Structure 1
Amino acid sequence: MQGYRDDGVVLRTQKLGEADRIITLLTRQNGRVRAVAKGVRRTKSRFGARLEPFTHVDVMLHPGRSLDVITQAEVIRPYGAPLAEDYPRYTAGTAMLETAERLTPMEKEPALRQFLLLIGGLRTLSETGEDAREPRLVLDAYLLRSLAVAGYAPALEECSRCGASGEAKRLTAFAVAAGGMVCA
């Protein structure tokens, strides 16, 4: 079988057997991919640390029976270190990874916009110093945009109950259960 190369963000890792891990990636060209990284839990592993959550990696994969196999991994940008130092950033980043995984329900279905949105969110979240933004605000912006990309955007211009536009009726509140803004 012919292997393929793609870049992606590590969303999740799971133990498999004694020395292997199942790595869930959100990739640029192939969407969400689950693959086995053989021997990464051994102490002499060459690329075990490269396949940790929050890491943007360039991977070489080979199709397997049920899961692909990762044969090579190179780090493009590690977002984990700045996020692990600050608990609010870490929790916001974890929520972003989980959201990306949940909103890409089909494996190997391209999700380029979700991928680019996740990369941008992690980059913004990992900024430190004067450029740093409030983690809650970054997460809120990511969640709203991610939901919109997935087709779950809230109604902000018209009433989500009766459909009247904002100019015709005054939109007074945001109702989560209704799916957006509502009029009086």
Structure 2
Amino acid sequence: MKQIWNERYKDQEFAYGKTPNLFFKEWLPKFETGTILMPADGEGRNGVFAAQLGWKVTSFDLSEEGQSKALQLARERYVSLEYIVGDLEQLAFKEETFDAIGLIYAHFPGNQKSAFHRKLHTWLKPGGIIIFEAFSKQHLQYVKSDPRVGGPKDIHQLYSKEEISADFKHYETVLLAEEEILLNEGKFHIGKGSVIRFIGKKKASR
């Protein structure tokens, strides 16, 4: 998997562009700045955007090539971020470290994604925010019609509203929707697709 992403990110051109995901761009400014974790941040377009808004950003991804591009983009935008190369299974942060987590097209193996979400949950402070957008299980139909839209071909890596509700059951749901959208993100997310969008606020522990 690491090799796949290094291959994708090694070109000079940014695979998904330099501008942030539109949903992330819409929602992140609604919240007070603080610390934010950006899993699977790739070439850093979303992490760098968060840094431009004043967030203290920690990004991670499997790809060294992604890290290099993200740090390049950060220099171009005159901001800084911490970028860790590694697998989520091996990463460890203190509990309740972050004020927000941005999960933008963070597709994990089907047998691990719920466990990964639970792990991320422990790193978020009570009252912290999750901003989530990823392809829905319905998206496979869109990929068959137009492969340019991208996304996993394994249905178990895709999401449903029911899965998100279960994985983030300790959250106040601000938004949870399945939507058809038109993507124009670099050369690997082009065309019509189906996504799950979720904004959740972590409830205080009892």
On whether the aligned pair clears a TM of 0.5, the verdict is no
The TM-score bracket by the shorter chain reads under 0.3
Larger radius of gyration: 1
